[in-house]
Amino acid sequence: MKEGTFELPGNCRLTSDYDVLQWDVREGCEVRQILDRIADKWSLLVIALLDKRTMRFAELLRSIKGVSKRMLTTTLRQLERDGIVERTVYPTVPPKVEYNLTPLGNSLHETVKALVIWTEANQVKIAEARDRYETRQSEGL
Amino acid sequence: MKEGTFELPGNCRLTSDYDVLQWDVREGCEVRQILDRIADKWSLLVIALLDKRTMRFAELLRSIKGVSKRMLTTTLRQLERDGIVERTVYPTVPPKVEYNLTPLGNSLHETVKALVIWTEANQVKIAEARDRYETRQSEGL
DNA sequence: CAGTATCCCTTTAGATACTG
DNA sequence: CAGTATCTAAAGGGATACTG
């Protein structure tokens, strides 16, 4: 294996050496999957809402403007599968299903919050960088 | 505006109140865009590589197994636009183009690293949650 | 070397209708 | 209420060929 080349190992667990990041952010890896979960269209919104309190399906559906039943279901199932969200079914008629964050979910929310705060702190720099980029483009250079 | 409902404001700058997160993670917003950048297929790999040293286009292309010219170019342009990566062209024949992280890019990498480390620390819990989920599924419950 | 342009296949996700 | 099933439009991304 060439030095510095990304290969595709079957096992992509992270080790304690951060530098291994470069081998482990690809498809199918833990980091990749968590990142995909965090960055997808609705997950973060769901996590942010559930961080405050337990909510029911229809309540989430109403709270997150623009989400469809299908996507909310998909999002919640993925979060449940990863142990971020807990799903509680009350076998009543009509059915009642509650969602809440697990301790793991709360912990993830804390970490993600740091990234959101970074973005908040740097949004002006990013906006300025974009302006400079656009200016350079329109100057044809 | 109903309590707890996500609306779609034209201006989606973040304020210093973190709770505003819930209003500001949607399409077109700063957080959304940075998150998309971080979670996309190649960006993080590029950032991780450039955090170590300046690299040329072909060098990145060889280092990131599976990336195409088209996607590497797209990824680098987006990172450049956001002020994460700096692109330096040497007008020689043949051309030489170098890429390196900006201070903003280094700072982003530090923050993302925290998330990667969280994933690393919790990957066993996530894997266990998945096993439990699969087990429950196959038990038909 | 460092791209751009084009084609095309795959995945994603919205809309709609149906169900226990 | 809390979903599932199906269809389809749009986006993502790989392969290939071409260019300054």
Instruction: List chain A domain ranges.
Output: 40-139
Residue A23 tokens read as: 């081998």
The tens digit of pLDDT for each residue in B56-100 reads: 999 999 999 899 999 999 999 999 999 999 999 999 999 999 999
Q: Does domain B40-139 have CATH number 1.10.760.10?
A: no
Residue of A nearest to B8 (CA): A65
Instruction: With a cut of 90, say whether residue A1 has pLDDT above it.
Output: no
Least-confidence region, from A33-42, A118-127, B7-16, B111-120: B7-16
Question: B26 vs A129, which has greater pLDDT?
Answer: A129
pLDDT category, A11, cuts 50, 70, 90?
very low
pLDDT category, B10, cuts 50, 70, 90?
very low
The residues of the protein lying within 7 Å (CB) of strand C read A 40-41, 66-71, 94-95; B 56-59, 69-70, 73, 76-77, 87, 94-98
The tens digit of pLDDT for each residue in A21-62 reads: 555 566 678 888 888 888 888 999 999 999 999 999 999 999
Tell me the C-alpha distance between A68 and A63, whole Å: 12
pLDDT category, A132, cuts 50, 70, 90?
very high
Question: B21 vs A130, which has greater pLDDT?
Answer: A130
The nucleotide closest to B67 (CA, C1' atoms): D14
pLDDT category, A13, cuts 50, 70, 90?
low
Say if CB B13 and CB A123 are below 8 A apart.
yes
Q: Is B14 exposed, middle or buried (0-12, 13-18, 19+ CB in 10 A)?
A: buried
Residue B98 β-bridge partners: B56, B88
Q: What percentage of residues in chain B have a pLDDT greater than 70?
A: 79
Averaged pLDDT score across all residues of chain A: 84
State the pLDDT at residue A22: 52
Instruction: With a cut of 50, say whether residue B2 has pLDDT above it.
Output: no
**Which residue, among A3, A7, A14, A21, would best test binding to B if mutated, counting the most B CBs under 10 Å from its CB?**
A21
Residue of B nearest to A45 (CA): B22
Say if CB B57 and CB B79 are below 8 A apart.
no
State the pLDDT at residue B91: 94
Report which of A16, A15, A8 is spatially closest to residue B64, judged by C-alpha positions: A8
Distance from CA of A12 to the nearest CA of B (A): 11
pLDDT, average across residues A98-125: 94
Q: What is the pTM of this model?
A: 0.87
State the pLDDT at residue A3: 38
Averaged pLDDT score across all residues of chain B: 84
